[in-house]
Structures are given as structure tokens and as C-alpha cells.
Amino acid sequence: MGVNVPHVETARGLTTLLEDEALFRDSVYEFADREIRPHVREMDEQAQIPRQLIDRLFELGVMGIQIPEAQGGAGAEFFHAVLAVEALSRVDPSIAVLVDVQNTLVINALLRWGSEPLRQQYLPRLAAGTVGAYALSEAGSGSDAFALATRASESGDAFVLSGRKLWITNAHEADLFIVFATVNPDAGYHGITAFVVERGAAGCTVGRKEDKLGIRASSTCELVLDGCRVPRGNVLGDAGAGYKVAIETLNEGRIGIGAQMVGLAQGALDHAVRYTKERRQFGKAIAEFQAVQFELARAATELEAARLMVYNAARLRDAGESFVKEAAMAKLFSSEVAERVTSLAVNLYGGYGFVKDYPVEKLYRDAKIGQIYEGTSNLQLQTIAKQILG
């Protein structure tokens, strides 16, 4: 599987590129700058990612980074998925979250919890062209992630699922869903079970797309399950182990969101630095004013700190070390930094920063979701507090 990137040794395959992490990250960014950036505003306005761009992401190899090479993937590490999400987010966080959910949630869950038949059935598809989605949230189950109303009842060699899932990222494009439902409500957390559900299954319907403030091209839809029959073999992990699947996968997913926020903030800072060199006031570029220099310096410092926190959490995860606290810290801090840096970029653009003709307005809107999804900032603080208090 090759990576088609100009100004890089294009004869080198993805496996070789992965050996040089900086080159891999930069090659993904060059791809995004060349092939995604021209469509960013149109995608934002139309709230849709063109299928041809999704196909290019598969061709690039970033939709199956951790899938073994024997099953069509890159056979790389979690850290490489984080680098790809960061690089894509510099151009469009909507594209980045498509890649992030695919890798850090869907594929990760299948690799860790899927039976051998499930992995053999679905991982090659996820590497080749199938988009995945992660269906946990419900109307009454957001921060309280396990207050699930969706039910799964046993029926012979299958389970029958009924309920409504909300805020499902990638749902419009996805052909495969990891769905969480309660098999035994009386068992509390221990009744929750994860299922692999195909889009074409009878009783499985993708509902309307939400009209969002930011990351608008990324689809967010409801998923309606009405007597959806799922084979018993499509249980992810054991029946009743869904809470472990969700918790452990989301802990990893938070690192991906941290990477998204770091890349987003870097994109905004890039724009701001260029613009301050071009915009002239009182006879000189505003970059020559010390007040502007200090603001940019502080933003760059905070951004580098956020990046190192994300990288550290990803490294710990790949090393098999404890990373729950570090993942929560990385997501909390990077989302706050993204909001501050994008706000500064808007301010430095002045009136132009407030209009859609210039790029920082969109990044400012995109940044807000970082403090909400995959665990709000308050939940990250709670996690951190529990970790440090023992």
C-alpha cells in the first residue's frame, strides 16, 4: 500500500514512511494541504464530506493504521494514528475526526475485543473502504454514559436490539457500527454489551444529520434500532462486558481528540503568524509589535505543551503502561488551548477573522467541540482527580 505524496520519496511505501514518524506526519499533512484544503469551505457549508475524499483517505492508508498488514492495514502503532489525526486537523478537523473514530474507537475495539472470526470478517473491510461508527450516546446517556435505554434481548442464536442512539459521529458514511445495549438492566453496568451491527441489517436505520456549530462536514446522526437482529457471534467481547469495552476504548479515543485539538490549534496559529506578517498598521506589519509577538509566543508555548502531553499519553498506551490520567489531562488541556489559540487568531485577523472568507472563523467554531465530546472537561477533571487521589 503506497502513500502518494509529492515532495517526499513517493516510491517509499507506507510501512517505510512509518519508520520515520516526522516524515509520516508531514506526508499526511502535505496530502491534506493538497487534496483537502481546496474543499474545506464547501464541505463546511454543505455539511458533507465527498465520497471521493474518503476513498483517497483509504488509498493513503490512514483509515486502517493499526490493522495488521495481512488484513490490508498498515500494521502500525496507535501513536501513528495520533500523528495522522494531528496532521489532518491542521487543514480540516472534520476530516480528522472521521479518521480518528475509525482508528482509535472502531478498529481499536475490534482489535482488542473482537473474536478471531469478527476480526477476520471486518478488519479487511475497514482497511479497504468501509467506514465505522461508535454508537454509545443516547438522549439520556451522555456524560452518564451507561444510563442506556437501548435494550438487547436474546432470541435463539441472535440478540434483538431496540432503542435510539444520538450524536453518532460518522453515522452518515458508516456501514459498520459498534452499538452498546443493555442485555440485563438489573445487572447495572454488568448488563451492558457491545455489538457489531451492519448498516444493512433489518431494523437498523440512520436518522437525520445534526446541523452543528462546528466540524460541520463530519456527520453526526441518530441511529434507530427497531427489532434489529444481530447474530450472537457479533458480540464484541463477552455479553455483559460492554462497559469495559467502552471505558477502555474511550480512554484511548481521548488521546485522539487531543491530537485533533493540537492540529486544529496549529492550523490556526499558522494562519495567524502568516497574517500578522502581512497586515500593516501604523506603517508596519503587526508582527513587529511586541504585544502581538508576546501573544503568539504564549500561544506557541501552550500548543507545544499540549502536543507533548498528547504524545506522552500515546506513547504510554503503546508501551502498555497506565495512561488514563495522562489521556484525560491531554484532552482537557489541548481542548482549552485550541479554544484560546483559535480565539487569538480571530482577534489578530480583526474584522476579517469574523467572516467566512478567511479560515480562522471556521477553526474557532470547530474548536468548541473538544471540550464536549468523548468526555466533557468536567469529566476529565473528575478522572484526573480520582487518579491523583488514588
CA 262 distance to own-chain centroid: 12
CA angle 319, 325, 329 (to 5 degrees): 110
C-alpha–C-alpha distance, residues 110 and 256, integer Å? 17
Count of CA atoms in the C-beta half-sphere (13 A) of 248:
16
For 127, the 3-state DSSP assignment is helix
Which residues touch 333 (CB under 8 Å, ≥6 apart)? 258, 305, 306, 309
CA distances from 77 to 172, 285, 298, 310 (A): 27, 44, 32, 15
User: 48-55: long-range contacts (C-beta < 8 A, 24 or more apart)?
Assistant: 48/172, 48/217, 48/219, 49/94, 49/95, 49/98, 49/173, 49/217, 49/218, 49/219, 51/173, 53/95, 54/98, 54/131, 54/173, 55/129
Best CA proximity match to 187, nearest among 239, 255, 130: 239
Q: State which amino acid sits at residue 377.
A: S
- Is 45 part of the annotated catalytic residue set? no
CA distances from 255 to 86, 205, 314, 322 (A): 11, 30, 7, 13
Active site residue: 138, 252, 339, 374, which one? 374
Quickly count: other Cβ atoms within 10 Å of residue 245's Cβ: 23
Backbone angles phi, psi at 122, to 5 degrees: -105, -30
- Grid cell 499540549 is found at 306
> So which residues are the catalytic ones?
374
